Copies of this chain bind each other. A is one copy, B any other.
Amino acid sequence: MLSKSQISFVKSLHQKKYRRENGLFLVEGIKSIKEFIQSSYQIHTIFYTTEQREVLPQLPANINLFEVNNAELAKISTLQTPQGFMALVYIPKNKSVSTESLANQFTLVLDGVQDPGNMGTIIRTADWFGFKQIICSEDTVEAYNPKTVQATMGSLARVNISYVNLLDFISESKIPVFGALLEGKSIYKIDWKKEGLIILGNEGKGITQEVISKVNQPVTIPNFGEAESLNVAVSAAIFCSEIRRTKN
């Protein structure tokens, strides 16, 4: 049985402000929660419904466990159809990423992506294609937004997300900077060589002018029809696919 203050505490974590204040975010569904248990993330609490008790895996002793009923879970869930389990997970410290650590690999860089679903899909896609690190501008949507977490389908547990001053970060980097732009060299003709940053911009405005000025190689996905642009998660996926196709 959850107290009123427990309910209001968990509900507060639906909002970014309180996630930041408390250093906690929400993960729903046992499949995703298991991915976080097996990762370097620390779990604070798991809520599970009585009927799901037997599905509960063996857990480290430092995780709080609360049995709740369906009505209680519905109150604290961010989903229309709650999935029997919800975990409060500690937000990891924003690890600083040295530009040197990105040598000899390809790294996605997000400049102001705003939609939580797009962000989550990009993280899931990066995980599929084996990209372990995503660098984000400070105004990119929070990776711990419940919609983002949901869309990653557990991949957030495996892909490192860092928020940085993008302009400084790129300026310090010594590896090639590829930018996803509407005008540039065809992505099918790029010689990726051995390393690079792949910059993807905001859904409406694209990459900011300042960041564009740091791009060494504008890259475009050729348009064979009439749409004006591609969804940013779709663009990211085609970049990941092309890099793996040609570099493996």
A residues apposed to B, CB below 8 Å: 117, 121, 124-132, 151, 153-155, 158, 188, 221-231, 233-234, 237-238, 241-242, 244-245, 248
Asked if B117 contacts A224 (CB within 8 A), the reply is no
Other A-B pairs, 19, CB within 8 Å; known A153-B228, A224-B244, A234-B234 = A121-B234, A124-B230, A124-B234, A125-B234, A127-B226, A128-B224, A129-B224, A132-B225, A153-B229, A154-B228, A155-B226, A155-B227, A158-B225, A158-B226, A221-B241, A222-B244, A222-B248, A238-B241, A241-B241
Q: Are A153 and B233 in contact (CB under 8 A)?
A: no
Most chain B Cβ neighbours within 10 Å, of A117, A126, A132, A245: A245
Q: Of the candidates B125, B188, B222, which one forms a contact with A230 in the assembled complex, judged by CB atoms under 8 Å apart?
A: B125
Q: Could you tell me the distance between the alpha carbons of A230 and B244 in the complex, rounded to whole angstroms? A: 15
Given contacts A117-B117, A130-B224, A225-B131, A231 and B188 within 8 Å (CB-CB) = no
A–B pairs, 22, beta carbons within 8 Å: A121-B233, A121-B234, A124-B231, A124-B234, A125-B230, A125-B231, A125-B234, A127-B226, A127-B227, A128-B224, A128-B227, A128-B229, A129-B224, A132-B225, A155-B226, A155-B227, A158-B227, A222-B244, A222-B248, A231-B233, A237-B237, A237-B238
Closest 7 CB pairs of A and B: A130-B224, A130-B225, A127-B227, A128-B227, A234-B237, A127-B225, A188-B245
Q: Is the CB of A124 within 8 A of B227?
A: yes
Question: Which residues of B lie under 8 Å from residue A129 when comparing CB positions?
Answer: 223-225
CB distance from A181 to the nearest CB of B (A): 15
Q: List B contacts of A131 (CB < 8 A).
A: 225
Q: How far is the CA of A129 from the CA of B241 in the complex (A)?
A: 16
Contact partner of A227 among B153, B230, B238, B244, CB < 8 A? B153
Give the chain B neighbours of A151 by CB distance below 8 A: 231
A157 to chain B, nearest CB (A): 9
A117 to B116, alpha carbons, bound, how many Å? 13
From A132, A158, A226, residue with most partner B Cβ within 10 Å: A226
Closest B residue to A231 by beta carbon equals B121
Which of A130, A226, A234, A244 lies at the interface centre, i.e. has the most chain B CB atoms within 10 A of its CB?
A234
